[in-house]
A and B are shown apart, each in its own frame.
Chain A
Amino acid sequence: MSLLEIKNLTLDFTVTGARLRAVDDLSLSIEAGETLCLVGESGCGKSTAALAIAKLVPAPPARYSGGQILVNGRDVLQMANGDLRRLRGRMVSYVFQEPGASLNPVVRVGKQIKEALKLHRPEAATEDEVARLLKLVGIPAPEARARDYPHQLSGGMQQRVMLAMALAPQPQLLVADEPTTALDVTIQAQILELLRELKQRLGMSILLITHNLGVVGEIADRVAVMYAGQIVEVAPARELLQRPLHPYTKALMGSVPALGSEAPRLSTIPGNVPRLGNCPFGCRFQPRCSVARPDCATLVPSLAELEPGRLVRCPFGVGVSPAPFSATSASIPAETARIDPGAAPSNEPA
């Protein structure tokens, strides 16, 4: 049994009468001890999907319209509030992008970590345990730092404190949502190194969300690429980076500037991620795709296992033998497909 198994999750937001599908028929699993990277541009639904794992997307305005989220075999969407409270923290713990915005500015960091301990492991809510956690995440002089306020710490140190707090309940799954995006590259390297080391030492699983495929090469076992609310490719990290099959994955990789490359121009993806409720029919990536064919605008591609362990939502993917479209899985509800682009505000939580 997988630690986490998401089956056909669909999540809608209702905004000014329109139903906007943020996550569309998403299936994903994470094994114990595995690091999965969820990759995609801003607004593709990756953060929403990650928050949904612990049912943290508030409903309303959201609606969990379908699917299951199984953590150790139990469906999160069916859990009572008490079970959800036990799930959050002890099973699934979160670290977010901006450590400065996630920490309480007027409470000493040691006390904030102790709060997490009191909630989830009351027997361990001691100064010693706080110091041990701070030391675990590589903070020098942990006893002294525990008495600091967040503003006295640098961005990298604040992110380490957030990590200590997330690890306090000893979770089985750590969800890290762009944990290094706000940090310098040198500090990013430190935090990625730390995550790798912690995973080995503590044997937990990590779901890491990022828009930078460079980060994927550093840390991931497996990768899922998301576009406009759907998963478009899943593969072992190494294979995906060596031979991406979906044109979107390929385009994302091309836009990361490589150090020492001779290319005069960076390859880009024209246009932007479509707004929610304004996804093009057929393949959602087709208007920006460099290898699109006329069929792509009329038929809906399905996520198919082209090789063992490799799922791709594109029948013409790079170097892929043609697989049929599935005309039946037209998953955009008719009423949202017709919404005026100007009238649909993007309600993707940042």
Chain B
Amino acid sequence: MSLLDVQNLKVYFPVSRGPLRRAREHLKAVDEVSLSIEPGETLGLVGESGCGKTTLGRAILRLVQPTAGRILFEGEDLSRINGAALRARRRKLQIIFQDPYSSLNPRMRVGHIIGEALDIHRLAPDRAARQKRIRELLAAVGLEAAHADRYPHEFSGGQRQRIGIARALAVEPKLIVCDEPVSALDVSVQAQVVNLLRDLRQQRGIAYLFIAHDLAVVEHISHRVAVMYLGRIVELAGAKTLVREPMHPYTQALISAVPVIDPDAKRRRIVLPGDVPSPVHPPPGCPFHPRCPLAEDRCRTEAPAWRQVRPGHWAACHLAEIANRKS
């Protein structure tokens, strides 16, 4: 059984229009998304801003209410439970946020930020045990015991992200949703945090849903990678396979956009025209067709099916085979 099995998840937000706010439309932030994560596995989730990857991550933790679909965590549907039952399950699911500056309470000492998770789930029987656990957690993320008495503003961005990780680890979760955990950091510090997440996975067998827009980082840490566009997953494959043999033209464009250090690297540059269209009025047919270099008539009218093109390699594109040959 998978640790997490998301089935046909939809998250729609109502949008009111018109003078009397009568015309109601829906912004389809997440539309018919299915994915699974095995214990100890890292699933990468990439896509541009506004593609719904953060909403999907939050919906899995029930931080936003899903409109439809099922979120099976260890076989239990999280979308149907509430209150105390949900709180108990949340111990197994944690999240690390993008901005290490706004996700830590500036008026709480680091020890209290980490200890609060222990208090809520009653994981420390007494003060001494609580202090000991906080020290252990700080050591696990590469900080010192003395840091427990400091405030967040005394730390650099990378250190703050470590505090966020320690807070997530406090309750011994089985799955951590990492929502752009390194996007706000310098490349040198980014590498430190990525390595830390990798080590923790090895030591503790934690599974990650690793959300980011930088495909190079995602490929580095993930076992499998899902690519999201306008609320839908358009391609899913093993990390190395996805980068070497992308099937979807959107994935190919994302790969070609990653800046390359080597000045002699020969590659095809695909600069996508325009921006991501509005998710309130997604284009008909394949939602990527207005920006797709391969689009043909069928793509403008007929939505492509989600199909397994090769074993373990899924894509939603009429032309996946052709695109793959061109890459």
Contact = CB atoms under 8 A, between A and B. Distances in A.
A252 B188 contact: yes
Nearest to A212: B187
A242 B263 contact: yes
A184 B261 contact: no
A189 B257 contact: yes
B192 A260 contact: no
B279 to A, nearest CB: 13
- A-side interface size class: 35 or more
A255 interface: yes
B134 interface: no
B261 A258 contact: yes
B220 interface: yes
Contact of A257 (B217, B262, B271, B275): B217
A216 to B, nearest CB: 8
Nearest to A262: B240
Contacts of A216: 261
Interface in B235-269: 240, 243-244, 253-265, 269
Interface in A29-47: 41-42
A217 B261 contact: yes
A211 B257 contact: no
Contact of B257 (A185, A212, A260): A185
Given A189-B257, A268-B191, A259 B186 contact: no
A211 B186 contact: yes
A213 B187 CA distance: 9
A187 B254 CA distance: 10
Interface string A129-159: 0000000000010000000000000111100
A193 B276 CA distance: 18
B272 A186 contact: yes
B217 A260 contact: no
B136 interface: no
- Give the most central of B158, B190, B259: most A CB within 10 Å: B259
Contacts of A289: none
A261 interface: yes
Contacts of A272: 156, 158-159, 189
Interface string A251-270: 11111111111000111111
Contact of B269 (A189, A217, A265, A268): A189
Contact of B186 (A41, A184, A260, A266): A41
Given A193-B271, A256-B187, A268 B261 contact: no
Contacts of A254: 191
A189 B188 contact: no
Interface residues of B, number: 46
Contacts of B308: none
B186 A268 contact: no
Pick from B240, B244, B257, B264 the residue with the most CB of A within 10 Å. Answer: B257
Contacts of A2: none
Nearest to B218: A257
B198 interface: yes
Contact of A268 (B156, B188, B214, B258): B188
B215 interface: yes
Contact of A186 (B244, B257, B265): B257
A112 interface: no
A105 interface: no
B263 A217 contact: yes
Contacts of B190: 255
A339 to B, nearest CB: 16
Contacts of A190: 271-272
B272 A257 contact: no
**Interface centre among B190, B191, B271, B272, by most A CB within 10 Å?**
B191
A257 B185 CA distance: 14
Interface string A313-350: 00000000000000000000000000000100000000
Contacts of A238: 263
Contacts of A215: 259
B287 interface: no
Interface string B189-204: 1111011001000000
B163 to A, nearest CB: 15
A304 interface: no
Contacts of A58: none
B49 interface: yes
A71 B67 CA distance: 60
Given A41-B186, A185-B213, A258-B261, A266 B48 contact: no
Nearest to B265: A217
Given A259-B215, A259-B216, A259-B243, A156 B275 contact: yes
Contacts of B5: none
Interface of A: 41-42, 140, 154-157, 184-190, 192-193, 211-218, 237-238, 241-242, 251-261, 265-270, 272, 342
12 contacts: A186-B254, A189-B257, A189-B269, A211-B186, A212-B259, A215-B259, A217-B260, A259-B243, A260-B240, A265-B195, A267-B191, A269-B191
Given A187-B275, A189-B271, 13 more contacts: A42-B157, A188-B259, A189-B269, A190-B272, A212-B259, A252-B188, A255-B187, A255-B190, A257-B216, A266-B195, A266-B220, A267-B191, A270-B192
Interface of B: 48-49, 154, 156-159, 186-192, 194-195, 198, 213-217, 219-220, 240, 243-244, 253-265, 269, 271-272, 274-276
